[in-house]
Each structure stands twice: as structure tokens, then as C-alpha cells.
Amino acid sequence: MSEGIAERRWGPLSARERRVLGVLVEKQKTTPDAYPMSISALVTGSNQKSNRDPVSSYDADDVEQTLISLRKKGAAIQVEGSGRVEKWKHNLYEWLDLKGQAVAMAVLAELLLRGPQTVGELRGRAARMVSAKESQIREGKPNTLRDLDELQEVLDFLAARDLVVVLSPPGQKRGVVVTHGLCPPEELERERQEVLHAGPPAEDEPRSPRPSPPRGEGPPGWAAEVAALRDEVETLRSSLEALSAEVRTLKESLGS
């Protein structure tokens, strides 16, 4: 543990726990009107086909038991929603000691939802969860994910807290694969070996310079931005499905 970092309260999580927490953070950031979430909405969000790896098929009992486990650990909180519908929210800012670190939480959530990925992939995917409101000045620097350099600052911050782990061999410059530090040690080692045997990916998003590009050139990382927009459309579609599930749950609770 790095010097100056508070004693950790968190520990390894199961695959289901990581998925459910990732969904709670994602929906809080992308569709705040649908947060906190009902169990029905969490089932839909956990099993959606976009922005998930692997795709799961959890049922309501799976999610409910997972939430109970997370509540016991202090990572999730149960609240009462409208119509006495049971709803849930995450407690990760407290549990992981990340108060005020909204962008770091977005990066971590993307890793929880998809697992190991290259730094270039992660930047485009996590950017969809960073709102303009969250893009505030932090220690004199933009708290955003405009390029890989800014993402690297966030990754270094999380790595110092053991919340991000680099799976690629030391010294590798391109196609560096990272993951979160919330899985059991044996799973982490298995992922490290898989990355080592697979070798570096053929392509990765190139680092872009901080200054604005010359007139006439496209914005840096545009391919990742397009991918992020596609992901956002899929997220919105899945959120509509989650809202529909929420309405059905509410109707059932009212006996209509």
C-alpha cells in the first residue's frame, strides 16, 4: 500500500458482485433519473449485450443475493423507492475511499463491466460516463479523459491504491492491458498469464499531443469517440428497457 493512502476497507469481489456494482455506477452516471435501481432494472442492466464482457444471464434471485452480499460488505445500500419498491445504490465512493473522484470512478466502472482491456479501448469507453459537470479542475489539471495522457493520470492514481493493475509485461509501450484490482488473486494471475501468452494487441489508440491539432486535421482519437458514441446509444437503449422493467415492477406492487 502506498504511503499516505488510508487503510483499505475493500476486498476481492465475485464476478456477479463486480457486474452489479458496475451497472449501479454506470446508470448513476448515464441515466441518473433511473437511479437508485430496482432489482428488476439491475437484472436488465446486468444482462444487456452492449458494454458488457462477458454477457451474463442473471435472474432476479442471482441479483438479489448479490446485493445482500454487497450490503454486508458495505459496498451497496438498500433504499425505499416510490410505491415501496425496493431499490439499491452503490457505496463505492466511501468503500473504495474515492470521495470526489468522479472520473476515476467512471474508469473503474468500465473495468468492472468489461474486465481487462487496452488503455486505448478504456479511454473511449469510459469517456461516455464523464459528464460536463464532472469535468472539473483537479489540482490545476482538467479532470477529464480527453486523451491517453489524462487517462494515464487517472490510472496511476488508481494503481497507487491497488484498484488498477497492469497486466502487460513491464516495458511494453503499445497495447498495454489493464484491469481492476477487485478480483481474487488467482483470477488476477490467470488474466495476467492470458495477456502474456496472447502478446501485445496489433493496434491501440496512439497517444495524442496536448495542443489542439492543426487546422484541417481531425480531432485526436476520433475513432475511439465514434465507438464511445455507439456504446452510449446502446446504453440508452438498455436504459429504456430498464425503465420499462421498473414500470412493470411498480404496477405489480400497486396491484394494477
CATH number at residue 110: 1.10.10.10
Q: What is the pTM of this model?
A: 0.77
Residues 119 and 180 occupy one common structural domain:
yes
Residues 70 and 143 occupy one common structural domain:
no
Residue 166 lies in a domain: yes
Instruction: Check residue 4 and report its DSSP letter.
Output: T
Q: Which phi and psi (to 5°) does residue 138 adopt? A: -125, 115
Q: How many domains is the chain partitioned into structurally?
A: 2
Domain span at 121? 102-198
**Confidence at residue 130, expressed as pLDDT on a 0 to 100 scale:** 86
**Confidence at residue 142, expressed as pLDDT on a 0 to 100 scale:** 43
pLDDT tens digits for range 74-98: 999 999 877 778 999 999 999 999 9
d(CA 151, CA 145): 5
How confident is the model over 117-145, as a mean pLDDT?
A: 71
Residues 130 and 78 occupy one common structural domain:
no
Strand partners, 88: 37, 78
Residue 203 lies in a domain: no
Q: Is the pLDDT of residue 9 over 70?
A: yes
How confident is residue 218, by pLDDT bands cut at 50, 70 and 90?
very low
- Per-residue burial over 201-236, b = 16 or more CB atoms within 10 Å of its CB, e = otherwise: beebbebeeeeeeeeeeeebbeebbebbeebbebbe
**Confidence at residue 69, expressed as pLDDT on a 0 to 100 scale:** 98
d(CA 125, CA 216): 26
Report the chain's mean pLDDT, rounded to a whole number.
82
Residue 34 lies in a domain: yes
Residues 147 and 176 occupy one common structural domain:
yes
